[in-house]
Amino acid sequence: MFALDHPLPGILLKTRDGQHTLLQDHLGERPTVVLAMRYYGCLPCQHYLLALHERRDQFAGRGVDVVVVGVAAGFQADHLASTYGIEFPLLLDPDQNLYRALDIPRLRTVDFLRWRTWTTYLPLFWRRYVTRTVDGPKQGRIVGDPAQLPGIAFIENGVVRWIHRGLALGDYPPVDELLTRLDEVLPAA
């Protein structure tokens, strides 16, 4: 299991156009929130990414960058960037190097039964597809590893300071909680 406050190993990823890159090349000098999405077409993942993007000034005001990694689907990442103006780097991890390095679990059959799965995914699905009351992202084609769960990590100077490992589909902490955790973990940011 990955221990906090230890240096993160080099993580090989890809850019949306398929070029190899290291996560560390996108971290820069400032503390960084790394959002590890399931894939860029995942409905709750897209909503969470948009919620982070809407509050990007609050991250920037704390001196914190945001980098997003998805298992697959460069074409879906391109669509999100162009449709919603996402300014965060959107990277791909088809080999799941980041997920393994951070011990972010994969979905098991029992995880479909978790209350968190149903309370996150079904309301989005209901509003988007049944009542058609939500404009915005649509469930995209499942690509990559559909069993990969999401996670979020705070990285400072190459060291993981805090991590949330999702236990169900769409298991992300509310953005307010994420900002509170960020203030606790990185008080000098």
CA R_g for the chain: 16
Q: pLDDT of the chain along its 189 residues, tens only?
A: 455 787 888 999 999 999 999 999 999 889 999 999 988 988 888 889 999 999 999 999 999 999 999 998 899 999 999 999 999 999 999 999 999 999 999 887 776 666 666 666 666 555 555 444 556 666 556 677 778 999 999 999 999 999 999 888 788 999 999 999 999 987 654
Does the 12-184 domain belong in CATH 2.60.40.1530? no
Note the pLDDT of residue 70: 95
Question: Buried (b) or exposed (e) across 79-104, using 16+ Cβ within 10 A?
Answer: bbbeeeebebbbbbbbebbbbebbeb
Note the pLDDT of residue 117: 64
Note the pLDDT of residue 124: 57
Note the pLDDT of residue 1: 46
Where are any strands of DSSP class E within 41-177? 65-70, 90-92, 151-156, 159-165
- What pTM value is reported for the model? 0.82
Note the pLDDT of residue 73: 83
- Please answer whether residues 91 and 21 qualify as being in contact, where contact means their C-beta atoms are separated by less than 8 angstroms: yes
Note the pLDDT of residue 189: 43
* Per-residue DSSP letter, 9: P
